[in-house]
Homo-oligomer: A and B are copies of this chain.
Amino acid sequence: MTNPTITRIKGDQALTFTSDITIHVLQDIELNSPILIEGLPGVGHVGKLVAEHLIDELHAERIIDIYSTHLPPQVIALEDSTVRLSRNELYAHHTENGDDLLILVGDYQSVTNEGHYILCDAFLDIAQQLDVSRIYTLGGYATYQLEDADSVVGAVNNPDLIEELSGYGVEFQENEPWGGIVGISGIMLAMSEARGIDAACLMGITSGYLVDPKSSQAVLRVLSQALGIEVDTQALDEHAAEMEKVVAKLQEMQQMQESMNRGDEDLRYIG
């Protein structure tokens, strides 16, 4: 039965973890019509890398932790050998020139079907309470080919956004992405539309086989323009450079494999 239990806890109150969702408000904050950026783990971890990079570079502050019985029963080890329960986290950042930022990241998405719906609904409840003016959900769009792409495709919940985002280099194509968008980056678009919040999904083209910081660079480039902010990309660039070597190596191996297979086929035709 879907009828979620949601518990709201503030500051030093003792946490409990047997509700569908436990929202732990670490600090109250005043924000100016913030823009919400969602970067939970997904295809190529493209969105996660961008969102975490933004949090690091902007020194955004963690304001809300979200625990859920729909997240894996797992703890994450920390630097000081303590642990914390797997969770989703909301960070806030005051910008100088206008719209503030909210950034949603986390260790995992829901592992149950209904969990995706009720977690997304809880995120949007928080978004509305904080007066969010627009949402960008970030993700990867898998082509299942090891290629060197740096384009970003988009989907929106309001066609009025297309012209603006095209100006930042986002590509829009009919009925794309072909297989739809699975998970939070997709359903947040549909579920925020029902609340009257404009939202766009920015997807970096990626193979789908590997963590892809290069695709994250492309998404960050678009997002920086959309947000009107400048972000140092050095950390992400270095990560991407390393990964490019891995990909080049894999492509080489793939070609060798293919030429060997071709050899086999020849034999078969002869034999």
Task: Kindly state whether residue A246 has any CB partner on chain B within 8 Å.
Answer: no
Q: Considering the complex, which residues of chain A in the window 97-121 have a beta carbon less than 8 Å from any beta carbon of chain B?
A: 110-114, 116-118, 120-121
- Given known A79-B174, A174-B81, contact A182–B16 (CB-CB < 8 A): no
What separation, in Å, do the CA atoms of A69 and B114 have in the docked complex?
5
Known contacts A14-B194, A72-B182, A182-B72: A81-B155 contact under CB 8 Å: yes
Cβ contacts A1-30/B at 8 Å (1 or 0 each):
111110000000011111110000000000
Residues of B close to A116: CB separation below 8 A: 73
CB distance from A170 to the nearest CB of B (A): 10
A77 and B177: CB pair below 8 A?
yes
Q: Give chain B nearest CB distance to A140 CB in angstroms.
A: 15
Interface size class of A (residues with CB under 8 A): 35 or more
Q: Which of B2, B79, B86, B183 contacts A20 (CB 8 A)?
A: B2
A154 and B78 alpha carbons, distance in the complex (Å): 12
Contacting pair B16 A172 (CB below 8 A): no
Q: CB distance B2 to A2 under 8 Å?
A: no
Max count, chain B CB within 10 A of own CB: residue among A3, A14, A81: A81
**CB of A263 to closest CB in B, whole Å:** 10
Assess whether A158 is interfacial by the CB under 8 Å rule: yes
Cβ of A175 and Cβ of B77 under 8 Å apart?
yes
- Whether, in the assembled complex, A232 has its beta carbon less than 8 Å from a beta carbon of chain B, the answer is no
Chain A interface residues toward B at CB < 8 A: 1-5, 14-20, 69-70, 72-86, 110-114, 116-118, 120-121, 154-159, 162, 172-178, 180-184, 186-187, 189-191, 194-196, 201
Given contacts A2-B19, A17-B121, A74-B187, 16 further A-B contacts (CB under 8 A): A14-B195, A16-B194, A17-B187, A69-B114, A73-B116, A73-B183, A75-B187, A75-B189, A75-B190, A77-B178, A81-B155, A83-B155, A83-B181, A83-B190, A83-B201, A85-B190
